[in-house]
Chains A and B, each alone.
Chain A
Amino acid sequence: MSIPTIVFRHSIATRVLHWLNALCVFLVLMSGLQIFNAHPRLYWGQYGANTDHAALEMTVGDPAKRQPLGMLRIGHHEIPTTGFLGVSRDGGGQLIERGFPSWATIPSYQDLATGRRWHFFFAWVLVFSSGLYFFIGFATRHVQRDLLPTQGQWSLKGIARDFWDHVRLRFPAGEAARRYNSLQKLAYLVVLFILAPMILATGLTMSPGIDAGFPWLLNLFGGRQSARTLHFVCAMSVVLFIVIHLAMVVLAGPLNELRSMITGRYVLPPEEVK
């Protein structure tokens, strides 16, 4: 048995803002699904309402049938989703017409007004907390040092190797675990520099007030309804990121990973003895 190497991995700012942002992201996501449920249809272009063509729709398959049938329609593809999308059980176990199910929304019951209150309050918190994260991240060179890929990591070969290692659930150990691997860096960079700004900008484009002051936003995204669709797609991409992020934490050693994000201390996984 070798003595485990403990490294100081995350600064206090990273740790505090990680948990604050994590809380806010969950709350804006789930209150966002509540808002989506008020009109579970997505369009492309400047306008879009019930009689217009929807790019995506959550609906009831055949209302005439005795058992309601939940349906997700994307373009011309229809996917039966009873119990999850379109039709799901409410708190009392009754099947009801609903875009996303009650366990995915804040509040759990249909209440657009309250969902909006949660959404906008925690969106504001997120603007300040992620603004602080970006400021500290750049000022302390955390972003430049830890998140930007090194020259070797930029190569397709390096990314492909890291990808296969991940597929085989082989994670960096020893010295290599001191820094993020190329896939981790890519994932964090996509969230920070593509998804987060996109979500903010498309969210603002949905505001009729902001559109008056910044009409170029409408040109940039091709209209308010396109912006709403992109807002949704980017939010779902964040959900995908969270699912993979949590899976990786569990697979890479949840206690060590969790501790490093709480106390900052991380035990370098020992290299396998062949």
Chain B
Amino acid sequence: MTSRILTRRQMLLRGSTAFGGLLLAGCDRLSNSPSFRTMLASAEGLSYRAQRLLVGHNALAREFKESDLSPVFRSNGTSDPDTPSYNAMAADGFRQWRLKIDGLVARPQELSLDQLRTMPSRTQITRHDCVEGWSAIGQWTGVPLSAVLTMAALSPSARYIVFYCADILEVGAAPYYESIDLIDAFHPQTILAYDLNRKRLPVANGAPLRLRVERQLGYKHAKYVMRIEAVQDLSPIGGGKGGFWEDRGYEWYAGV
């Protein structure tokens, strides 16, 4: 009797291990099937609409006290673009750097760091959430993106704001880029930050200028911003998904 029970138990165990292996292989195969991926991706539209419905367009991300600041604000992605043109700009304190604003605007702009620093500014202590799961709290100072876009006179056909960066995150790939819709672009906490924790933005965190779009995950907060373009359609840019990580399978709407 004992041996029979043991065999049955072994059979059960082996059977379930084999069955589990089959299921896992099946999930891996589904993960690579374009039609299944399209089905999975449909959840993003639902999350986007649910959040836009439940969260007011101008609802503010929590702002913290100075005592809440992370002791170390972690750098992620590129920690130094280290290209000849970037190094040359960094060497003279970004005096030659200009922020270009073009695309669907009536008055294209080229702004120096000093010009941005003389514009009205906003300072906020907010939490930065990485898609990987960690969070860091930092104090950011910068120009509201809405001010810059108003200055450039956005045309009515513009639907997205695209940020082109100086860093190349993957060998052979195009430089980093990101995009947001106009709801987030005109949100009061969406700023182009030039200071972190009351000091000039360090190279590791995106010097001379990075985007803060506080209600979305870290990869939306483009670092080393060189150019801002207003567009109607994201599909002709890069891989067509609206950002470096979006082209690699991540959600364009990173509110969750």
Question: A208 touching B215 by the CB < 8 A rule?
Answer: yes
B57-73 contacts to A, CB under 8 A, are: 59-62, 64, 68, 70-72
Whether B31 is near chain A, meaning CB under 8 Å from some CB there, is yes
B160 to chain A, nearest CB (A): 18
B201-256 contacts to A, CB under 8 A, are: 214-217, 245, 248-251, 255-256
Q: Which of A30, A112, A113, A208 contacts B61 (CB 8 A)?
A: A208
A228 to B46, CA, bound (A): 22
Q: Which of B40, B62, B74, B215 contacts A118 (CB 8 A)?
A: B40
Question: B132 touching A210 by the CB < 8 A rule?
Answer: no
Question: B249 touching A117 by the CB < 8 A rule?
Answer: yes
Chain A hits for B28, CB < 8 A: 107-109
Q: Mark A176-214, 1 if CB is under 8 A from B, else 0.
A: 000000000000000000000000000000111111111
Chain B hits for A111, CB < 8 A: 31, 249
A210 to B24, CA, bound (A): 32
Chain B hits for A151, CB < 8 A: none
Whether B148 is near chain A, meaning CB under 8 Å from some CB there, is no
Whether A237 is near chain B, meaning CB under 8 Å from some CB there, is no
Q: Which residue of chain A has its CB nearest to the CB of B39? A: A121
Whether B119 is near chain A, meaning CB under 8 Å from some CB there, is no
Whether A218 is near chain B, meaning CB under 8 Å from some CB there, is yes
Whether A137 is near chain B, meaning CB under 8 Å from some CB there, is no
Whether B123 is near chain A, meaning CB under 8 Å from some CB there, is no
Q: Which of B27, B43, B54, B136 contacts A120 (CB 8 A)?
A: B43
Q: Mark B111-134, 1 if CB is under 8 A from A, else 0.
A: 000000000000000010111111
Chain A hits for B68, CB < 8 A: 46-47
Chain A hits for B249, CB < 8 A: 111, 113-114, 117
A39 to chain B, nearest CB (A): 4
Question: B24 touching A108 by the CB < 8 A rule?
Answer: yes
A43 to B39, CA, bound (A): 33
Q: Given known contacts A108-B27, A117-B41, is B61 in contact with A212 (CB within 8 Å)?
A: yes
A32 to chain B, nearest CB (A): 11
Chain A hits for B131, CB < 8 A: 38, 112, 116
A42 to chain B, nearest CB (A): 9
A208 to B248, CA, bound (A): 22
A24 to B193, CA, bound (A): 41
Question: B40 touching A208 by the CB < 8 A rule?
Answer: no
Question: A210 touching B245 by the CB < 8 A rule?
Answer: no
Whether A88 is near chain B, meaning CB under 8 Å from some CB there, is no
Chain A hits for B129, CB < 8 A: 206, 208, 224
| Interface size range on B against A | 35 or more
Chain B hits for A124, CB < 8 A: 43, 46-47
A48 to B245, CA, bound (A): 23
A187 to B214, CA, bound (A): 40
A111 to chain B, nearest CB (A): 7
Whether A41 is near chain B, meaning CB under 8 Å from some CB there, is yes
Question: B42 touching A121 by the CB < 8 A rule?
Answer: yes
Whether B20 is near chain A, meaning CB under 8 Å from some CB there, is yes
Whether A103 is near chain B, meaning CB under 8 Å from some CB there, is yes
Q: Which residue of chain B has its CB nearest to the CB of A104? A: B24
A25 to B248, CA, bound (A): 26
Chain A hits for B173, CB < 8 A: none
A103 to B61, CA, bound (A): 38
Whether B135 is near chain A, meaning CB under 8 Å from some CB there, is yes
Chain A hits for B46, CB < 8 A: 124
B207 to chain A, nearest CB (A): 20
The stretch from A2-10, A49-57, A156-164 touching chain B is A49-57
Q: Which residue of chain B has its CB nearest to the CB of A106? A: B27
A46 to B250, CA, bound (A): 25
Q: Which residue of chain B has its CB nearest to the CB of A40? A: B133
Sample of 14 further A-B pairs with CB below 8 A, known A116-B131, A209-B256, A210-B51: A30-B27, A35-B133, A39-B130, A39-B133, A106-B31, A108-B24, A113-B249, A114-B37, A114-B249, A117-B249, A207-B256, A214-B55, A218-B62, A225-B134
Q: Which residues of B contact A (CB under 8 A)?
A: 20-21, 24-25, 27-28, 31, 37, 39-44, 46-47, 51, 54-56, 59-62, 64, 68, 70-72, 74, 127, 129-137, 214-217, 245, 248-251, 255-256
Pairs A–B under 8 Å by Cβ, sample size 16: A38-B131, A47-B70, A47-B136, A47-B137, A103-B20, A103-B24, A112-B131, A120-B43, A120-B44, A121-B41, A121-B43, A208-B129, A209-B256, A210-B256, A211-B215, A213-B59
